[in-house]
Amino acid sequence: MTYSTSEENYIKAIYHLQGDEGMVTTNELSAELKTRPASVTDMLKKLKTKKLLNYEKYQGFRLSNDGRKVALGIIRRHRLWEFFLSEKLKFSWDEVHEVAEQLEHVTSKKLIDKLDEFLGFPRFDPHGDPIPDQHGKIATHERVCITVIPLNHVMEVCHVGNQTAEMLDILKHNDISIGTRLEVRKKFNFDNSLEIRIGRHQPFILSEAVARHVWVKKIERS
């Protein structure tokens, strides 16, 4: 079975919006995809008849098992291309997403499996997100948000949960990227902002809005 670019974009967006539990609403999806709610309803009907979606009128929706499998395939393609662009073509971290959005819709299983092999079966993309394998299995970092880690422990940034241009701008400004080692020096309970230090540099402040999206893991001794 193969799906149109448009169907794939809907499936991917639904996957990202539905967490482990919750339902997704028409308006959320319409905002995410920048289409009108009426268009979303049309597509929902279509995906339902293809059994990719559990959906009843006015009730919200989630991907079915089959839908989730399809989503993982798309995400696999997206993240492998991101890895390729970053690692091999030397695109910068914040440029890869847009191009990968196009490449992910090229459907050839052989292409993706050979690309995976060529890249050395990477398990995480340049944003720190896990890359599903051929069977849809995804590795997991034991990762935590910097809002909850103990003070004065150096850890390594491994994931950024919001990849809008605005967010990437702030992170770039503060020299934070995947792999950056940092520690939280102080928490301000008034606004939940954090004082961060990278290496021996001058510490700086991160608002809660930003901090919520920055995740770290233990430093792996190599």
Using the rule CB under 7 A, give the single segment among 38-46, 148-156, 172-180, 181-189 that binds DNA: 38-46
Task: In whole angstroms, give the CA distance from residue 38 to residue 35.
Answer: 8
Interaction residues for its own copies, span 83-122 (CB under 8 A): 85, 88-91, 95, 98-99, 102-103, 106-108, 110-111, 114-115, 117-118
Backbone angles phi, psi at 80, to 5 degrees: -65, -40
Q: Is 16 in the site for DNA (CB under 7 A)?
A: no
Residue 7 in the binding site for its own copies (CB under 8 A): no
Closer residue to its own copies, CB minimum distance, 42 or 98: 98
Number of residues forming the site for its own copies (CB under 8 A): 19
**Nearest-angstrom CA–CA distance, 96 and 84:** 9
> Taking the complex as a whole, how short is the minimal distance between the CB of residue 164 and DNA, in angstroms?
20
In the numeric block, the tokens 């893991």 are attached to 217
The CA distance from 38 to 71, in Å, is: 23
**Residue 158 burial (C-beta neighbours within 10 Å; 0-12, 13-18, 19+):** buried
Residues binding its own copies (CB under 8 A): 85, 88-91, 95, 98-99, 102-103, 106-108, 110-111, 114-115, 117-118
